[in-house]
Amino acid sequence: MTDARLWLAGIAALPCVVIVASYFRVDVERLRRAAVVSAAGTLLLTIVVGASPGLRAFSVHTTALGWTPGGEALVRVNALSAALLPFAAALWLLTVAVTPRAMLARDGLRRTALATLVTLASFLTESAVVLLLLSAASVWIFVAALGDPAHRRQRRVVALYLGGSTLVFAAGVALLVSPGVTGTWAEAAAMWLIVISVMVRKGIVPCHAWLPEAFDRGRLGPAILFSAPQIGAYITVVLIVPRASPDLLRTIAVLALGTAVYGAALALVQTSARRACGYLFISQSALVMAGLDCTSVSALTGALVVWLSAGLAFAGLARCVLVLEARRGRLDLSTYHGGYDRMPVLAISFLLMGLACTGFPGTIGFVGQELLVDGAVDAFPVLGFAIVAASALTGLAVLRMYFSLFCGRPEPAAHFGLRLGLTRREAWTFVALVIALVGLGIAPGPLVHSRFAASREILQVRGATVTVKPAPSAGQAVRRMDPSPRLRRAPLPARSATVLSRRSPPRRSVAGGRQGRAARA
């Protein structure tokens, strides 16, 4: 079983099984069981693919979708996707396992499987055209989830923002894949268009207004599934970081740092739990974006770790809110709801997942944020401290939510006598997620090591891409792409070099990056 194609086919087949089954007259609870089994199977397969060095070097190139020398990887598994694939599968498992029975619907399960399939496919490609199609598909799935009349207004808001973002993305990709675009104004314009599109999708200020609205008055489940994987971050890594100028990256990073503080500050004063979740997501998403655009190994690694930790923790946190809503209705944070004694597992899980979001020591978020702060302060000696402020505010917002949702009242009289505890499936899912977040926090070595490898690959591709540009002056071009001093010190792992040299054409090889550095020296 060393053929990656078989494994990838297996990964794609499991969501497809659920999609097909949803069209038959299967009892919805049985369909959910099938979805849980499929999601667990997908998680297992993706972990195997991510952990096997032999499978990780797989790629399929094509020259049909662009004019990039050597073509683009239509499908590829590398160090970056090795962790993102299990991440997407885990989000699917979390979604189907803890969706309350009253909110379960056949079309919802189908949509969830379809969204996961799109996310998995997105994490497997670096083709701009394919990413555009998949991005449009994910937006369509999300907008379709808001199809009922009660969410008409939110549907319009989301369609306007995300539809517009997709159109802008399409314009950017069209420019990017045009022949002879390398090094011209068209490439810069394409970069700006893609950046704007990503900013809308990730809710970076000033393009963020749709996100709290979608979380608060839209449907929280689809909103989580659309936002938590952060396909916008993936587009940034694959399309923007390798090609964008340092000025553009700095601009994005500064906006993202500001957004991180903005989101955390606003999460602190919300009276709606859903809206607070929306702003928390904006803050976390911006932290990832800031790290990706700092172009130092440390910041990039931190961002990749935070991407996973905050994504999982945030999805779990928002799912806890949904589970609570199923028992209590809308949750108002301006009052206390109590209930810790009835739902201790949910309360503890909520607190721990929130702490993982904030980067509390002992969770995987801590290691990610440490690396992120370190790299961000390297790049922005003053603005980098925005991450510290965002982290402090996020921690406060999470504890405020915890106190409001689980403390402050003996027992809500309105619900007295009702069974408020978790079902076994919900409890085990939350506990498993907490164990994963804490376990990876106590022993983060393998994950951090793999993210270091991924970030080095990304920066090597960036260095190699830029050194082949026909810039006006060679010295200038090399200077523009100066990797951080940390990168210069860091030796390239042998495995990464193999992967790159195998899947990249000669002009985008590691040698290009090294020659650039030698020229600079």
Residue 467's contacts (CB-CB under 8 Å, 6 or more residues apart) are 477, 478, 481, 512, 513, 515, 516
Q: Which is nearer to another protein, 54 or 408 (CB)?
A: 408
Which of the 8 DSSP states describes residue 493?
P
Under the criterion CB under 8 A, does residue 345 sit at the interface with another protein?
yes
Q: Which is nearer to another protein, 130 or 346 (CB)?
A: 346
Binding test (CB under 8 A) with another protein, winner from 9, 167, 418, 435: 435
Q: Which is nearer to another protein, 25 or 424 (CB)?
A: 424
CB of 259 to another protein, least distance (A): 12
CB of 105 to another protein, least distance (A): 6
Hey, which residues does 278 pair with through a beta bridge?
Answer: none
Q: Which is nearer to another protein, 328 or 517 (CB)?
A: 328
Which of the 8 DSSP states describes residue 491?
P
Under the criterion CB under 8 A, does residue 431 sit at the interface with another protein?
yes
CB of 420 to another protein, least distance (A): 14
Q: Which is nearer to another protein, 184 or 271 (CB)?
A: 271
Judged by CB under 8 A, the chain residues 269 through 288 that form the site for another protein are 269-270, 275
Under the criterion CB under 8 A, does residue 111 sit at the interface with another protein?
yes
- Binding string to another protein for residues 127 to 166, with x set by CB under 8 A, is what? ------------------x--xxxxxxx-xx--x------
Judged by CB under 8 A, the chain residues 191 through 250 that form the site for another protein are 208-210, 212-213, 217, 219-222
In sequence order, which ranges of 66-163 are alpha helices (DSSP H)?
79-98, 106-122, 128-145, 152-158
Torsion of CA 106, 107, 112, 116, to 10 degrees: 110
Please give the full DSSP string across 310-364, using - where no structure is assigned. HHHHHHHHHHHHHHHHHHHSS-BTTS----TTT-HHHHHHHHHHHHHHHT-TTSH
**C-alpha pair distances (Å), 431 with each of 136, 313, 316, 344, 351:** 34, 12, 10, 11, 12
CB of 108 to another protein, least distance (A): 3
Under the criterion CB under 8 A, does residue 427 sit at the interface with another protein?
yes
CB of 267 to another protein, least distance (A): 9
The whole-angstrom separation of Cα 356 and Cα 437 is 7
Burial 379-403 (b: 16+ CB within 10 A, else e): bbeebbebbeebbebbbebbebbbe
Q: What are phi and psi of 73, to 5 degrees?
A: -80, 110
Instruction: Give the closest residue to 71 by CA, choosing from 88, 59, 83.
Output: 59
Under the criterion CB under 8 A, does residue 112 sit at the interface with another protein?
yes
Binding test (CB under 8 A) with another protein, winner from 19, 141, 255, 352: 352
Count of residues binding another protein (CB under 8 A)? 97
Q: Which is nearer to another protein, 232 or 384 (CB)?
A: 384
Under the criterion CB under 8 A, does residue 40 sit at the interface with another protein?
no
Q: Which is nearer to another protein, 104 or 186 (CB)?
A: 104
Q: Which is nearer to another protein, 82 or 240 (CB)?
A: 82
Q: Which is nearer to another protein, 27 or 148 (CB)?
A: 148
Judged by CB under 8 A, the chain residues 359 through 418 that form the site for another protein are 360-362, 366-367, 370-371, 373-375, 377-378, 381, 384-385, 388-389, 391-393, 395-396, 399-400, 403, 406-411
Under the criterion CB under 8 A, does residue 336 sit at the interface with another protein?
yes
CB of 371 to another protein, least distance (A): 5
Q: Which SS3 state, helix, strand or coil, does residue 416 take? A: coil
Judged by CB under 8 A, the chain residues 86 through 105 that form the site for another protein are 99, 103-105
Q: Could you identify the residue written with the tokens 């499908």?
A: 75
Hey, which residues does 60 pair with through a beta bridge?
Answer: 75
Binding test (CB under 8 A) with another protein, winner from 22, 283, 309, 349: 349
Cβ–Cβ under 8 Å, residues 85 and 46: yes
Binding test (CB under 8 A) with another protein, winner from 41, 258, 302, 512: 302
Q: Is the peptide bond before 206 cis (omega within 30 degrees of 0)?
A: yes
Judged by CB under 8 A, the chain residues 442 through 461 that form the site for another protein are 444-445, 448-449, 452
Judged by CB under 8 A, the chain residues 49 through 68 that form the site for another protein are none
In sequence order, which ranges of 359-492 are alpha helices (DSSP H)?
364-379, 386-406, 424-442, 445-467, 474-480, 485-489
Q: Which is nearer to another protein, 381 or 472 (CB)?
A: 381
**C-alpha pair distances (Å), 432 with each of 27, 32, 178, 349, 362:** 27, 19, 47, 10, 16
CB of 18 to another protein, least distance (A): 13
Judged by CB under 8 A, the chain residues 480 through 519 that form the site for another protein are 486, 490
Hey, which residues does 481 pair with through a beta bridge?
Answer: none
